[in-house]
């Protein structure tokens, strides 16, 4: 997917001007945390589970070479073909090759952020294949020619009315009303059923790869993943190599965190484990299965100070709890992943310079870290990225020099107190009547949107020193 993150601020301004969109995001920002909170409370020992899974994930990543080899061995024994792809292009080519080997024309696709990352759909379509997204949200945005605005709910930015209009336009099904949401879902189901039945290849993602048995776990609410996996003759699972976990029970432990954090459900409708192709005597299932494991800089991240980011389980809780995400909307982030996790992943997977705004789209409020089921220190990682930007001089020069000057002054108390004392006294004199300034030199960033409260008096240090002197 093409990077658009350099336009973050402009896109945010657009998003904020769309009042209906703002209202829709505000509702999500209010209710999604409530749902998650209720689910976490009901579970009880969520924190203990969180720490337990964090420990396992850390262990798996620290021993990734071992567990990947084990996974490959077991998956191969189950009849899967395991492929490794270093880059997005490689993954796309591997998938296209498999499709072409089978003379495939139609692909039914389950939801997968990894394939959004690699731009797989476009690539396959250019290769002559018809690709249909089968997750309802993904299907909607595919029909609309858009990209996901949220990693869990890709079409959350769409209103019911927009979806109605879209279906009426895109589905050649004659005169109809589609009055209720149930009508919309029924129509999508009917249309998608045809695609499932006609597809030659199914492509899905994976929430976890289990080393001990070579299984791949997938969590969905719609069951579309199972239809993609079982109806076509060929199944391709596209995921990244950091998804591997040692045991089945580790995957299910992670799943308990995932569903509650993502949607506040105690359980999703479907949690499936895919072992491999149809075995002798079995009545259904794919005849051939492939697992394509993408690296795309994950190895670099693993070797870096940002390795904790690989523990992300893609639940979207940080998006749902981030007031900046609520204000900006997912599309403003300009790439596949949005919100706090996207503001870390995008610079790491694309370009720190082109995505300059993203690590700065953070007020360090810490709500994301508080709810992150993987206990990733998100604000720390974002600050470290800002540090990297500062070191590489990507940060705007006026900010760099301003902050350097501030620190320089903070090291010189006599000068600092003289300058602040003089400035505050003057500002106080000019501002005391009105109480605040609507404009102030060098404070445009502040006064663009808010008044600058006038200092109450001279500085505390001036007054305190004067009082101490008087007491002597």
Partner 1 sequence: MSDPSAPRVSLFVTCLADLMRPSVAFASIRLLEQAGCIVDVPLQQTCCGQPGYNSGDYESTIPVARRTIELFEHAEYVVAPSGSCAGMLREHYPKLLQGEWRERALALAEKTFELTCFLTDVVKLDSAPAISTQMPAVTYHDSCAGLRELGIKEQPRKLLKELCNVEIKEMQQTDVCCGFGGTFCAKMPDISAKMVDDKLKNAVASGASMITGGDLGCLFNIAGRARREGIDIEVRHVAELLSGDLYSPAIGEGE
Footprint of partner 1 on 33-92 (CB under 8 A): none
User: Which of 279/404 has CB closer to partner 1?
Assistant: 404
- With a CB cutoff of 8 Å and minimum separation 6, the contacts of 184 are 160, 163, 164, 167, 178
Of 66, 408, 418, 430, the residue at the interface with partner 1 (CB under 8 A) is: 408
Smallest distance, Å, CB 112 to partner 1? 30
Q: Any contact of residue 6 with partner 1 (CB under 8 A)? A: no
Q: Any contact of residue 163 with partner 1 (CB under 8 A)? A: no
User: Which of 2/391 has CB closer to partner 1?
Assistant: 391
Q: Any contact of residue 146 with partner 1 (CB under 8 A)? A: no
Beta strands in 41-126 (DSSP E): 81-85, 106-109
Smallest distance, Å, CB 244 to partner 1? 30
Other CB atoms within a 10 A radius of the CB of residue 62 amount to: 12
- With a CB cutoff of 8 Å and minimum separation 6, the contacts of 117 are 1, 88, 294, 296, 336, 337, 349
CA nearest to 254, candidates 111, 57, 66, 44: 57
Q: How far apart are CA 216 and CA 289, in angstroms?
A: 11
Per-residue binder mask for partner 1 (CB under 8 A), 423-462, x = binder = -x-------xxxxx-x------xx-xxxxxxxxxxxxxx-
Say if CB 170 and CB 176 are below 8 A apart: no
**Residues of span 294-353 touching partner 1 by CB under 8 A:** 323-324, 327-328
Q: Any contact of residue 223 with partner 1 (CB under 8 A)? A: no
**Residues of span 345-404 touching partner 1 by CB under 8 A:** 357, 359-367, 369-370, 380, 383-391, 395, 399-400, 403-404
Smallest distance, Å, CB 41 to partner 1? 15
Of 3, 4, 7, 22, the residue at the interface with partner 1 (CB under 8 A) is: 22
- Sequential DSSP letters for 411-439: T-HHHHHHHHHHHHHHHHHHHTTTSEES-
User: Which of 2/433 has CB closer to partner 1?
Assistant: 433
Q: Tell me which H or E stretch contains 131.
A: strand 130-133
Binding-site size, partner 1 (CB under 8 A): 74
Smallest distance, Å, CB 471 to partner 1? 13
Question: How many residues are there in the chain?
Answer: 472
Smallest distance, Å, CB 19 to partner 1? 12
296 burial via Cβ count (<10 Å: 0-12, 13-18, 19+): buried
Q: How far apart are CA 44 and CA 256, in angstroms?
A: 12
Collapsing DSSP to helix, strand or coil, 235 comes out as: strand
Q: How far apart are CA 306 and CA 384, in angstroms?
A: 9
User: Which of 66/408 has CB closer to partner 1?
Assistant: 408
Smallest distance, Å, CB 312 to partner 1? 20
Q: Backbone phi, then psi, for 222, in 5-degree steps?
A: -110, -10
User: Which of 138/369 has CB closer to partner 1?
Assistant: 369
- With a CB cutoff of 8 Å and minimum separation 6, the contacts of 448 are none
User: Which of 105/439 has CB closer to partner 1?
Assistant: 439
Smallest distance, Å, CB 154 to partner 1? 22
Smallest distance, Å, CB 349 to partner 1? 19
Q: Any contact of residue 413 with partner 1 (CB under 8 A)? A: yes
Q: How far apart are CA 343 and CA 281, in angstroms?
A: 49
Smallest distance, Å, CB 348 to partner 1? 15
């Amino acid at each position: 997917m093409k990077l658009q993150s350099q336009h973050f601020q402009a896109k945010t301004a657009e998003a904020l001007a769309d009042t209906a969109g703002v209202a829709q995001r505000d509702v999500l920002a209010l209710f999604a945390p409530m749902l998650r909170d209720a689910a976490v409370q009901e579970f009880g020992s969520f924190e203990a589970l969180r720490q337990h899974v964090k420990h396992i994930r850390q262990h798996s990543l620290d021993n990734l070479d071992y567990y990947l080899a084990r996974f490959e061995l077991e998956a191969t024994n189950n009849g899967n073909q395991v492929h490794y792809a270093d880059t997005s292009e490689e993954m796309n080519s591997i998938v296209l090759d498999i499709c072409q080997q089978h003379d495939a024309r139609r692909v039914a696709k389950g939801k997968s952020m990894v394939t959004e990352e690699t731009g797989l759909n476009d690539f396959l379509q250019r290769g002559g294949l018809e690709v249909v997204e089968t997750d309802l949200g993904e299907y909607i945005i595919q029909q609309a020619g858009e990209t996901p605005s949220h990693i869990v709910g890709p079409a959350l930015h769409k209103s019911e009315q927009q979806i109605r209009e879209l279906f009426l336009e895109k589905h050649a099904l004659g005169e109809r009303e589609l009055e209720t949401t149930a009508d919309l879902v029924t129509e999508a189901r009917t249309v998608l059923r045809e695609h499932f039945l006609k597809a030659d290849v199914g492509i899905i993602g994976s929430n976890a790869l289990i080393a001990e048995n070579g299984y791949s776990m997938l969590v969905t609410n719609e069951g579309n993943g199972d239809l993609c996996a079982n109806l076509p003759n060929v199944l391709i699972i596209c995921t990244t190599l950091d998804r591997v976990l040692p045991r089945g029970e580790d995957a299910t432990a992670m799943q308990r965190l995932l569903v509650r954090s993502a949607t506040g459900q105690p359980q999703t409708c479907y949690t499936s484990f895919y072992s491999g192709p149809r075995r002798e005597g079995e009545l259904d299932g794919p005849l051939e299965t492939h697992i394509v494991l993408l690296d795309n800089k994950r190895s670099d991240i693993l070797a870096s100070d940002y390795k904790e980011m690989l523990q992300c389980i893609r639940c979207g809780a940080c998006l749902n709890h981030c007031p900046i995400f609520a204000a900006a909307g997912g599309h403003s982030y300009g790439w596949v992943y949005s919100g706090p996790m996207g503001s870390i992943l995008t610079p790491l997977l694309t370009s720190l310079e082109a995505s300059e705004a993203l690590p700065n789209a953070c007020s360090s409020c810490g709500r994301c870290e508080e709810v992150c089921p993987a206990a990733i220190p998100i604000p720390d990682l974002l600050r470290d990225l800002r540090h990297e930007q500062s070191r590489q001089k990507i940060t705007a020069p006026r900010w760099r020099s301003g902050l350097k000057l501030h620190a320089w002054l903070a090291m010189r108390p006599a000068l600092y107190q003289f300058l602040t004392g003089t400035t505050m006294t003057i500002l106080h004199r000019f501002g005391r009547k009105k109480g605040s300034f609507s404009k102030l030199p060098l404070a445009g960033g502040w006064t663009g949107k808010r008044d600058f409260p006038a200092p109450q008096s001279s500085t505390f240090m001036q007054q305190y020193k004067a009082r101490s002197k008087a007491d002597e």
